[in-house]
Amino acid sequence: MDEIPYTVKPHPLSGLYSGKLGIWLFLASEVMLFGALFSSYILLRVGSDSWPVGSELLNIPLAMLNTFILIISSVTVVLGWASLKLGEHGKAKMYLWVTVLLAFGFLIVKGFEYGAKFSHHISPATNNFYATYFTMTGLHGLHIVGGIAVFVYLLTSGSKLLEENPEHYTNRIECAGLYWHFVDLVWIFLFPALYLL
Amino acid sequence: MQEKIYGYWLPLNVSTHGEAVDQLINVLHVFMALLFVGWGIFFVYCLIRFRQSANPTAQYEPIHAKPAKYIEIGVIVFEAVLLVGLSMPVWSDFKDALPSESEALTVHVMGEQFAWNVQYPGKDGVFGRKAPQFVTPENLLGLDPDDPNGKDDFNSINNLHIPVGRPILIKLTSKDVIHSFKVPVLRLTQDAIPGQEIPFWFNTTRTGNFDIACAQLCGLGHYRMRGQLHIQSQADFDAWLAEQEVEESDDEFSF
Amino acid sequence: MSVAHETHDDHGHHVELPFWRKYVFSTDHKVIGIQYAVTALFFLLFGFTLMMMMRWQLAYPGQPMPLIGTFFSEANMPGGIMVPEFYNQLGAMHGTIMVFLGVVPLAVGGFGNYVLPLQVGAPDMSFPKLNMASYWVFLPGGLIMLASFYAEGGAAQSGWTSYSPLSNTAPAGQTWWLIGMIFLITSSLLGSVNFIVTTIQLRVEGLSFFRLPFFTWAQFVTAFLLLLAFPPLEAAGVMQLMDRVAGSSFFLPSGLVISGQLLDVAGGGNPLLWQHLFWFLAHPEVYVLILPALGIVSEIITVNSRRPLWGYRTLVYSIISLGFLSFIVWAHHMFMTGMGTAMSNFFQTTTMIISIPSVIILTALALSLNGGSIRFPTSMLFALAFIPMFAIGGLTGLPLGLTAADLHLHDTYYVIAHFHYVVAPGTVFALLAGVYHWYPKVTGRKMNEALGKLHFWISLIGINVVFMPMFFVGMAGVSRRLYDQTQYAYGAQVQGLTAMSSWGAWFLGAAQIFFIINFFWSRKNGEKVESDNPWNATTLEWATPTPPPHGNFPEVPKVYRGPYEYSVPGAKSDFSPQHVEEG
């Protein structure tokens, strides 16, 4: 007996296949991670004598663009998963590649933002507002990179599984999609917290 | 002093709140010992009575543990009594009942790597302003040269002199890393945190010279960050104070 | 030992795996468990050796270390005399290595990985590749920690607690420590997801949650603690790295003067933020240290008492509440930071409350012995000793958890004695018990009983000689982390006790040689076991062949009863295994 059960079929008690349960647990730990950073931000800001106004220092139009990019990418990832469920493999791959491209777009826009700051000699060392800004968006950016890596893998060398076991493959995309929604959600909180408030 | 200050249990107590602390510690340890011995006897009894050779067939049914339940409830109640009756009041007194600046002797203590800067306000009774940018080897406190109140302040490095029987208000901070001001005979520990000024107070019951230690790892010299607490009679303290003020008035600042 | 030596290619034929995929990059939970266990045992020995060196300086301050003193560099031990900076490095790394590289990887990565899938009847963990990844992220993390001794200025030397601002301005080893911690935390997160999913999803038919062995429950709750408590420390680690490497001031207030120089940073940070984030993990972490041990001890006590665990349901509820409560006591480590009455009242209260489930569990373990028919193999000796030793550790937490007593005892040797009693003759004894207990399942041979008993008695005596005097040293007022306590009159007064602790430690270290010899010698020369179930236990791990093959169970087992049906009246024998239908 060496097939691991419930990898594809859901478990009768939990109603989930194992990967989905696993990714939700992982996301719980990510909530704790970003929660700790948000809490630290609040503590530092409340405890400081003067805290810069984010809207005066940061590029809101670019950040709004990035917000749209991520929201659309969350839509495309769901469309990709839905196409897989309907058996439309070609369409699915198209949607998923669009997701990857959008993710790259996000990073490029971020790159512009960071570049503009660095060229004005602004860095995490400048003050705690910028330290918080760079650390939180930087860690978020690393999570975007991680997401890109997973999707690219699933679309290239990992795509063999689509032929062998489409249901299993679809589940992997679903899990990646859940992670992607979470990364999107973190940005939805980051944007107002850093740029607007 | 031939009298024994330090031994193998609690040191001599010279603070007014120390009695309550010692009472809590001693009551707790009696309680802990009773629990451990009582429970330990049961444990050893089981090991002997129910070893295989004495009891070849085990009993499936669990023993009814009414006594255990009542003991457990008793333990919880006792802990609650200790918490609310003995611990919280002491802490509240220590933290909230700070003496007013008129009745207490106020001293500013600033820990640094690896010494205690003990600042007295001098004849004018007003503490001079301090700022980090003014710190030099001759001005460890960082007294602001433009503040006239600081001219008569002095730094009695590593030596805290106080008069006996009078409330002492310490305003504690640190220059560099976290230190902790600990005096075993006062039953007192207070962390010194850079960027914060933390007040604490105590009152003493007798004279003597006692050790002050650092109780938070602060670097390679943590072990030798030793100070001396000099609890003196009012007369001796006044004499000491007068001496410092005479010495320091010749210089612009003290250390 | 049997490993995943086979896999199935596309056509269902069995393919023999090459050596490196069978023994090195294996996805089999049993291989991974052994990898974790052996690596962790090595780290435990290393971490203990660091302390044995420190004990020389503590017992004979300023004296050259005999025999090996000259092996160390001029920077660390000129003329064989340890310098304070090196003493601090040994201290910080001793704590870090024992907790993060020794105890947790052995308790969770070792025992959890090997035994949990077997106890739930599974062929492996839910995510075998993830499991492999978690080990191979752990190992580099550990090696980075060890290598940090060669960083410029030495290894981390600000305590395992790495308080800011001291750790911000510490030499390069601290940066390595932070990077190493990020590896270790990641490894832990990957592992904990696996444990939780496996326990929920892969239990065989008939194995409901309330029929799970208590060991599995303990690992299950522990996995939640690791999953949810570690990320804040990861965040804090990233922030401290940013402070050290990118010049930010998360934990640095303005106006710091270090060595006479005004520190050139923006400031505005808060050293207490580090403490809150650190202790938010580190308190649940100490429950991570103890919960698996409670699980192991429960298994061994029931098997060797031949009667059910007393109050199984109560124990399960207690361990779950212990898990929850462990998240709301953290600031009892921070009572002296200038905390007011409101916050301290809250944390004192939760700390008192958390003692309740612990007492219930210990009492249940003791009550399990009552009415039993007790055997005393080495595993049982260690498991039994755990109970009073953990009791001492737990009881001495009470004065520390009450602020009025903590005023005197904070950051003294009393604290060191308290937590070492819980972890050293507590958890480590439980882990040793586990090694003696499950060795036959893993290797097919028992460890030598004579050597085992020698190991036990000398360790028990030695460990008490080390730590019992420390309560008195602490009560006398001696602070922690002192390179030389004789600088203080009260320290000099109890220096004799400190020297006694050192001799106890060396004696204890010597005793471990019996264990090391036994561990390796018994692999090939130990008494072969007659059956797959040499201890006549009821839980599923004993229902596999010895050692378990790839896939663990030749046929998927079904479970018909709870995990501790020993000495059931009217049954054929004094144990009724979970997977056997007829009682």
pLDDT in tens, C275-291: 999 999 999 999 999 99
Range of the domain at A191: 18-47+60-196
The shortest C-alpha distance from B224 to chain C (Å) reads 7
Q: Minimal Cα distance from C195: which residue of A?
A: A22
Residue B164, Cα to own-chain centre: how many angstroms?
A: 17
DSSP secondary structure string, C130-198? HHHHHHHHHHHHHHHHHHGGGSTT-B--STTTT-TTTTTTS-THHHHHHHHHHHHHHHHHHHHHHHHHH
B105-248 topology per CATH: Immunoglobulin-like (2.60.40)
Q: Which of A21, A36, A128 sits opposite C266 (nearest CB)?
A: A128
What is the structure's pLDDT at B2? Answer: 56
d(CA C221, CA C227): 10
Please tell me the distance in Å from C501's CA to the nearest CA on chain B: 15
Q: A53 in a domain, yes or no?
A: no
Per-residue pLDDT at C295 exceeds 80: yes
CA atoms within 13 A on the CB side of B83: 20
CATH of the domain at A129: 1.20.120.80
- All chains having 3 or more CB pairs closer than 8 angstroms to chain B: C
Closest alpha carbon to B224 in A128, C124, A36, C479: C479
Domain assignment of residue A3, yes or no: no
Half-sphere exposure of A78 (CA within 13 A, CB side): 8
Q: Kindly state the percentage of chain B with pLDDT values over 90.
A: 74
- Residue C498's identity, in one-letter code, is T
Alpha-carbon distance of C125 to C147, in angstroms, equals 32
Q: Mention every residue, 6+ apart, whose C-beta is less than 8 A from residue A155.
A: A93, A96, A97, A100
Q: Which of residues 410-429 of C touch B (CB under 8 A)?
A: 410-412
> What is the C-alpha separation between C583 and C577, in angstroms, rounded?
8
Give residue C34's pLDDT.
97
Give the predicted TM-score (pTM) of the model: 0.95
Q: Tell whether A12 is covered by a domain.
A: no
DSSP at B15: B
Residue B26 has pLDDT above 60, yes or no: yes
- Report the number of distinct structural domains present in chain A: 1
Give which of C229, C207, C262, C127 is closest to C559, Cα–Cα. C207
What order of strands is seen across the sheet that includes strand B179-183? B159-163, B227-232, B208-214, B179-183, B188-192
Chain length of chain C: 583
The answer to whether residues C468 and C397 touch, using CB atoms and an 8 Å cutoff, is no
Q: Domains (ranges, CATH) in chain C?
A: 19-250+268-543 (1.20.210.10)
d(CA A137, CA A187): 8
Least Cα separation, residue B160 to chain C (angstroms): 16
pLDDT in the model for residue C23: 85
Q: What is the mean pLDDT of residues C34-59?
A: 97
pLDDT tens across C331-355, in order? 999 999 999 899 999 999 999 999 9
Residue-level pLDDT at C15? 67
Distance CA A38, CA A32 (A): 10
User: Per residue in C121-140, pLDDT tens?
Assistant: 999 999 999 999 999 999 99
Tell me, what's the pLDDT at A2?
52
Asked whether B254 and B245 are in contact (CB, 8 A), the reply is no
pLDDT at B255 over 60: no
Residues of A in Cβ contact (< 8 Å) with C229: 32
Residue B173 host element (H or E): strand B168-174
Cβ-contact C388, B40 below 8 angstroms? yes
For strands B105-112 and B168-174, give the pairing.
parallel
Tell me the C-alpha distance between C36 and C271, whole Å. Answer: 35
Closest CA to B90 of B22, B26, B144, B38: B22
Tell me the per-residue pLDDT of C471-519, one tens digit each, with 9 for 90 and over: 999 999 999 999 999 999 999 999 999 999 999 999 999 999 999 999 9
Query: What's B10's DSSP letter?
Result: S
Q: CA-nearest residue of chain A to C554?
A: A1
Q: Cβ atoms within 10 A of the Cβ of C517, count?
A: 13
3-state secondary structure of C96: helix
Q: Is residue A37 part of a domain?
A: yes
Q: What confidence tens digit (pLDDT) does each residue in C351-386 have?
A: 999 999 999 999 999 999 999 999 999 999 999 999
Cβ separation C367–B95 shorter than 8 A: no
Would an 8 Å CB–CB cutoff place C386 in contact with chain B?
Answer: no
The arithmetic mean of pLDDT across residues C397-415, rounded, is: 96
Omega cis (within 30) before C548: no
Q: Which pLDDT score, from 0 to 100, does residue B72 have?
A: 86
Q: Looking at the complex, does the CB of residue C264 fall below 8 Å from at least one CB of chain A?
A: no
Token match 């611990």: residue? Answer: B87
Average pLDDT on B177-183 reads 97
A13 to C552: CB separation less than 8 angstroms, yes or no: no
Which range, of A182-191, B59-68, C59-68, C300-309, averages the lowest pLDDT? B59-68
How many contacts (CB atoms, under 8 Å) link B and C? 298
Interface touch B217/C88, C-beta < 8 Å = yes
Q: Which pLDDT tens digit goes with each residue over A93-146?
A: 999 999 999 999 999 999 999 999 999 999 999 999 999 999 999 999 999 999
Interval C152-202: pLDDT, tens: 999 999 999 999 999 999 999 999 999 999 999 999 999 999 999 999 999
Is B37 exposed, middle or buried (CB count within 10 Å of its CB: 0-12, 13-18, 19+)? exposed
Integer Cα distance of C274 and B209 in angstroms? 36
Task: Tell me if A52 is assigned to some domain.
Answer: no
Q: For position C14, what pLDDT does the model report?
A: 58
ipTM above 0.90, yes or no: yes
Chain A from 178 to 197: CB within 8 A of any C CB? none
C224-243 pLDDT per residue, tens? 999 999 999 999 999 999 99
Asked if C304 contacts C375 with a C-beta cutoff of 8 angstroms, the reply is: yes
Name residue, tokens 């361990």.
Answer: C319
Instruction: Give the C-alpha separation, A52 to A56, whole Å.
Output: 8
Residue entry with tokens 């992982």: A26
CATH 2.60.40.420 in chain B, residues? 105-248
